[in-house]
Chains A and B, each alone.
Chain A
Amino acid sequence: MKLRTPLAAALILAPTAATAAGEVNVYSYRQPFLVKPLFDAFTKESGIKVNVVFARKGLIKRLQAEGRNSPADLIFTTDIGRLASVVNAGLAQPVKTPALEKAVPANFRDAEGKWYGLTLRARVVYASKDRVKPGAITSYEELADPKWRGRICTRKGDHAYNIAMLAAYIDHHGEAKAEEWLRGVKANLARKPQGNDRAQVKAIMEGVCDLAVGNHYYMALMLQNEKQKAWGQSANIVFPTLAGKGTHMNVSGVMMTRHAPNRANAIKLMEFLTGKTAQGIYAQVNNEYPIDPGVKASPLLESWGKFKRDTTRLEVIARNRAAALKIVNKVGYNDGPVTN
């Protein structure tokens, strides 16, 4: 102990969090290699430095523990669930500017301005080119159809993307129907849920299953990767409808923390990210759909054609998440097709 105190004191002084002018501090759930090009462009344009901490778990808790002295200005995250949980924890502050409200459609932002969607990701169905005829499946509901018995692969049921999809299902059909549907999907599984979205498409190539559920941009990532190209080429992408309305869309988004020390700079960054330049970068680099309907998606995404989007407010979907997780546990989705 004797040695530890002066040592610690010396170390604390070294890397303190920056709160000086000309900076903005970000807690990011998105990987640095995805957001760095955007921040670099922002710094180049504005001269404002962006400091980042990236983690996949618990940044909200960190924000909570740090309280009013937290250096964080903005939170970057994927998935509506996480955005909603920050709002529920009382850690976000409302921001409203004409530019933000103009760029982001109302169903993809919080009514009070406590979060804004930045990009859109469609939850699609991947169908084997060899074994599934085009048009054989057009809706999420059909995933529970017994004709797909032993032919479907998905990642784990309690993953945030699947939870959001099920939460949307609950919104349209109610909890009882949603549970019945998930039991049907579970019975149709080809194997125990495992791996990420990409691994499901790989399983189609391997002949393990014929249908898979995944986010749309994984197809783009696979086609761009030398090793994974064959996986992507083994499947067609299907934009299914939910209750006849359209494809379930999730977001990646940004929100300002309640005690943001660099508020003005943070607003500049938010407006930059919803602006045409950044939306263009998102579209090209990440192959996500731009939040701004006025900005074109990447050529590859454009080539998949137009599709109908589910326009339910994401806030509404977020409220069904806890119920969705309980259904996943109740039907034992992660145990796979074999019922224990």
Chain B
Amino acid sequence: MTALGTTKNDTPAARGFRLRLDPWAAGAVVIAVLVALPVVTVVVMAMFPTENIWPHLLDTVLPGYVINTLELMAGVALGTILIGVTAAWLITMCEFPGRRIFEWALVLPLAMPAYVVAYVYTDILEFAGPVQGLLRDLTGWNTGRDYWFPEIRSLGGAITIMTMALYPYVYLLARSAFLEQSSGVGEAARTLGCSAWAAFRRVSLPMARPSIVVGVALVLMETLNDFGTVEFFAVETLTTGMFNVWLVMGNTGGGAQIAVVMLLFVIGLLIAERTARRRRGYHDTSTRPGRALRYKLSTGRRIAAVLVCAAPIVVGFVVPAGLLISYAIEFYDVSMENRFPQAAANSIMLAGLAAGIAAMVGLFLAYAVRMRKSRALTLLARFASLGYAVPGAVLAIGILFPFGLFDNALDRFMRDTFGVSTGLLLSGTIAALLFAYVVRFLALAYGTLEAGLGRVTPHMDDAARTLKHGPAKALIKVNLPIIRGSIMTAAILIFVDSMKELPATLLLRPFNFDTLATYVYQFASDELLEECALGALTIVAAGVIPVILLTRVMGRRRPDQEISVV
């Protein structure tokens, strides 16, 4: 019988603020400092604006930017929670036709870059598109002045598109939380007379809340630093404002100041997340999954469940993929340019390396924090995750300057000392790109792995200690097998996101170097998506395969699986 342990996390006051220096703590400090470098650079830039732009901005556009940004975030958060949690709960707790297909298909929209989805729906829903065309044929209306049609290029449009592109984050994290709750918990609730809804509301949801909150936080950070979609839909957010000040006014410091305002938004998000988490720290004392007992649904409810799961897949994946495929066929000759295979190879190599490195670094950080329970270390680790919330182009600038300083200083030293010029050692290389990806996506790894480790009861560490295992051995032998799914989740999220990453890649890459994202961009940014549909499809396909792998790995963990617990 599974018991519900209510072991509270150590209260902050109980933890020490001192940082004992052992290899784990030292390693974590080094990582955090390196990863925080770009963010710190941006903050430093913000202190030296060329002109004080705040009076002008406050008078004119800034309130609008802030309101739009808040509305966008609220809308996307609501939308992704609604879709993500509902779908995850249906999939793990209910039995209905197609459930096993929906289980992985619901993740598919994650492989679609949001700006591509935005482009596709503009094509479909705009005046000249098939939907309004049909409407006009049916009604005899002629011009845009004869009737009203919802404007896709609007705040509402942006919320819808971003919800569709980002809900898989919430779904994935909610689902793995529901799965990792040993089914005994649900059974116990039901034995105690809970209805399905009550069991969800009173047991499953509170236990899954840390993961859901992590998912929503990821979604909101992606929302904050999205530029492509809001730009395309002409929604004026803080990101747009930052680019205006920075690029049009040529005021780097002023742009950095707006970036710092965005950072404050993110820090607010993170604090909210932590508060939510701290309030309830549950550990399931058993990882024995037991056998799944899913609710059997009535016919009406079965149909409803199918519709609820199918809708986001159709809207977020099937329709955009379909349109891209038709373009790719139509424009095959134009698309199949000789640079295309090289760009694909570059993308896969970079994304693979980034996923591996970031997952390992994230695991190291999360475990060091768990081991040390030091307040300072915890804060440091969270600070290191901020890179995720910085828009890619700003992050790139934050990398360019320290790297340039380092390269030039080293070059000067080498010439003065040995008479050898080393030139630019890191700037403009793949190393700089990889560094950018790790900084950008470490939050994904750290967040996922921290949540994963959080669900492993500390008794496991105690048990390992009684077996005289050191921290490293305890990690490998005890924790690693339990959080295998979380590690895969982290690595795959990072792989897919790195494949899509655009602004930092554009700016930091070496000469004559293309990834699929940059290759697609040069056409798509000119509204010539047809000519690069093949490239866009490849990004999607490269994202789809690991996504399917991921859900299979996680799916295997449900019933009758040997999870090796010591």
Interface residues of A (CB under 8 A from B): 1, 3-4, 7-8, 11-12, 14-19, 25, 31-33, 51-59, 61-62, 64-71, 81, 85, 88, 156, 158, 160, 163, 192-196, 198-199, 202-203, 205-208, 227, 321-322, 325-326, 329-330, 332, 334-335, 340
Contacts and interface: CB of A to CB of B under 8 A. Distances in A.
Contacts of A334: 61, 234, 236
Interface of B: 27, 30-31, 56-57, 59-61, 64, 127-128, 142-145, 153, 233-234, 236, 243-244, 247-250, 252, 353, 357, 360-361, 364, 393, 396-397, 400-401, 403-405, 407-408, 411, 421, 423-431, 434-435, 503, 506-513, 518, 522-523, 525-527, 530
Nearest to B153: A194
17 contacts: A1-B361, A7-B353, A12-B430, A15-B513, A17-B423, A52-B511, A54-B506, A62-B507, A65-B401, A66-B424, A67-B408, A71-B428, A71-B511, A158-B248, A207-B145, A227-B530, A329-B60
B43 to A, nearest CB: 16
User: Which 4 residue pairs across A and B have the least CB separation, nearest first?
Assistant: A207-B143, A65-B404, A194-B234, A65-B400
Contacts of A65: 397, 400-401, 403-405, 427
A15 B64 contact: no
Contacts of A196: 526-527
Contacts of B429: 11-12, 14-16
A195 B397 contact: no
Nearest to A54: B522
Contacts of A53: 428, 509-513
Contact of A85 (B30, B250, B397, B435): B250
B408 to A, nearest CB: 5
Contacts of A329: 56-57, 60-61
Contact of B522 (A18, A31, A67, A70): A31
Nearest to B506: A55
Nearest to B250: A85
Given A11-B430, A15-B429, A332-B61, A56 B407 contact: no
A322 B424 contact: no
A11 B397 contact: no
Contact of A67 (B360, B404, B512): B404
A1 B27 CA distance: 8
A325 B248 contact: yes
Contacts of B507: 55, 57-59, 61-62
A12 B426 contact: yes
B252 A61 contact: yes
A322 B249 contact: yes
Given A17-B423, A326-B60, A330-B59, 8 more contacts: A11-B430, A19-B423, A51-B511, A57-B506, A205-B128, A208-B127, A329-B60, A334-B236
Contact of B250 (A15, A88, A156): A88
A202 B129 CA distance: 12
B535 to A, nearest CB: 13
B13 to A, nearest CB: 32
Contacts of B397: 58, 61, 65
Contacts of B434: 8, 11
Contacts of B511: 15, 17-18, 25, 51-53, 71
Nearest to A227: B530
A207 B512 contact: no
A199 B244 CA distance: 21
B357 A3 contact: yes
A15 to B, nearest CB: 4
A329 B60 CA distance: 6
Contacts of B31: 1
B349 to A, nearest CB: 10
Contact of B248 (A68, A88, A160): A160
A255 B340 CA distance: 30
A84 to B, nearest CB: 9
Nearest to A131: B143
Nearest to A225: B528
Q: Give the most central of B153, B248, B511: most A CB within 10 Å.
A: B511
Nearest to B427: A66
Nearest to A192: B234
Contacts of B421: 69
Contacts of A198: 527
Nearest to B27: A1
Contacts of B512: 51-53
Contacts of A193: 234
